[in-house]
Amino acid sequence: MNGIIIVNKPADWTSFDVVAKIRALSKVKKVGHSGTLDPMATGVLPVFLGRATKSIQYFMGGNKGYIAEMTLGIRTDTLDAAGKEMSNDKCRPRPEGLRPEGMSNDGSIIKLFEKFTGEIEQTPPMYSAVKIKGQRLYKLARKGITVKREPRKITIHSIKLLNFEEGKHPKVTFEVYCSKGTYVRQLVSDIGDDLGCGAHLSKLMRIYAQPFHITQAVNMETIITLAKIGRLESIIVPVEEILSGQEASQTGN
């Protein structure tokens, strides 16, 4: 088998778990993926089989799209729901403006989204795979070590507010399209800091990993079932088909 399976990664699976499962199901030795997703995240995870693994490099630099939920008023050490709670503050925003009680500035979430749209600088979180002096940041973070990280330029193409759920710790759901290298949990943390009450990423679904969309993704349950009945190849997309499609769109043909 050679090609790509566009997986809808389930929550609590690592990207490696998905690759290992598909390797076992397909009996193909060479299996890899592009664009790692954290265990808590769901959504688009392209998995490459056989000769297609040689093409992974062509799919690493594309834009990404996510639907994210941020919980206001609670900060965690990992900036997401998997981490340890670091602070818990009351956050009573006005429904129309999401303005936490006691803020002196305009706390409109829409205006904050505008502030974070375009080319911006983002400091990689300590709990990330970024290397500094040969060491992964998350390995240092697990030892309680914090080091200086240089901000990196990223591009937030768009942010759209989808839902606002009131409560002691309001939940804000939004859609974001961004460049490679964007940390959505860092984005959420920065927005929370600007709101004055902090925030963490409580849910994340990747809906786009250029050129793949969530509507093309196949659930793991379906993948397992197809493998059992000998029809796994029916969902494998030839890598040549994808690459030729990308070339056509770039040339306008």
Catalytic residues: 38
Residue tagged 């240092």 (tokens): 140
Residues 6+ apart with CB under 8 A from 249: none
Residues 6+ apart with CB under 8 A from 101: 90, 91, 92, 93
**Number of H-type helices and E-type strands within the chain:** 6, 14
Write out the two tokens for 180: 């490679």
Alpha-carbon span 169 to 72, nearest angstrom: 5
Q: Which residues contact 103 (CB under 8 A, 6 or more apart)?
A: 195, 196
- DSSP H helices, 74-216, are 109-115, 137-142, 184-195
Which residues are 200's β-sheet partners?
Answer: 71
For 98, phi then psi, to 5°, come to 50, 45
Whether a cis peptide bond, with omega within 30° of 0, leads into 211 is yes
Q: H or E stretch including 224?
A: helix 220-228
